[in-house]
Amino acid sequence: MARCFIMASKKPVSPGLRIKDLTFSGVPVRVYEPKTASGEKKRGLVYFHGGGWMFGCIDDYDEVCQYISLESDTIVVSVGYRLAPEHRYPAHLDDCEVVTRHFLSTAATDFEVDPHRVAVGGDSAGANLAAALCQRLSKTPDCHLPSPCAQVLIYPALQMADFHLPSYQQNHSVPILFRGRAAFYFLQYLNGNTSVSQQILEGKHVPVELKLRFKKWLDPDNLPPQFRKGARSPQVIPSHDRDVYHIIKQGLDPEISPLLAEDDVISLAPPTFILTCEFDVLRDDGILFRKRLKDAGVEVTWEHLSDGFHGIISFFNQGWLTFQSSQRGMDSIVRYIRTL
């Protein structure tokens, strides 16, 4: 069931685009095709919208997808994947996978797209799905299909092991994503048991041995110094709550927390674009993922909006609600896609 945001409305179609509502392997999609003619096949982007795995729809991202498609001369496929609470993991990720595989298999014949120039991307929860999908595809390659040529991750949610990172501390009550809501959305995606939200925020859900294992990836010392200002060291918790861990342990799997994947999986990631915002609880997820990718030899392009907040691209071209950083963020995304 699609739950669109209040300000969502289908925008007038740009004269430079053809837009079609279709289904790929049973999943609704909207395809944006630039009308410009060229002597070569176009690039493609499969886009997964944000909304905490619970909200958002194709209409919400019509303005964003039209702009990306038109300005980068790219065919964009916007995916209407299933949502919580009616559907839990792995429904969302499965939908994104079948759409991506469908598009890769039909790109050349049906859309005049070079399947070797198809990227995946999304924002927030959609960026989580894009990162998890790239890891899933890297572990189960199809010899008949190319892998995505890049992943475009816009303020991604990448782990539910540590809600005490500096960005979670510094921006815990900054709209539009509060610290407590981040844990709530992860739990809705996972299994719907939100009764353990407080224990998760307190860090009681991760066994000590796993915390030690994750520390090399989640240590705040891995962040540039400017992002650690004013952050407190987390309280040392000598033991975990076994019942809580049992409820959430699947959430520590890389398919839900891609930042926690092993090094051999991280090294298989495609070239990556990451956009982070200063005033965002998820800021450090993106910065830490950038470090992991770079350490593994993956090419990473990072754009940081020093005056941005979570959800900024959803305010793109929204009249009096538009922010300067939303335009800068969109333009940085377009610049990257043009390089593919």
- Give me the active site residues, please: 124, 280, 310
Separation of alpha carbons 208 and 187, rounded Å: 21
Instruction: Please tell me whether residue 138 adopts helix, strand or coil conformation.
Output: helix
Separation of alpha carbons 121 and 140, rounded Å: 19
The answer to whether 80 and 27 are in contact (CB under 8 A) is: yes
The answer to whether 121 and 229 are in contact (CB under 8 A) is: no
Q: Which two tokens stand for residue 300?
A: 């990473």
Greatest Cα pair distance, the chain, in angstroms, is 63
Q: How many residues does the chain have?
A: 340
Residues 6 or more apart whose Cβ sits within 8 Å of residue 114: 40, 41, 42, 43, 44, 107, 108
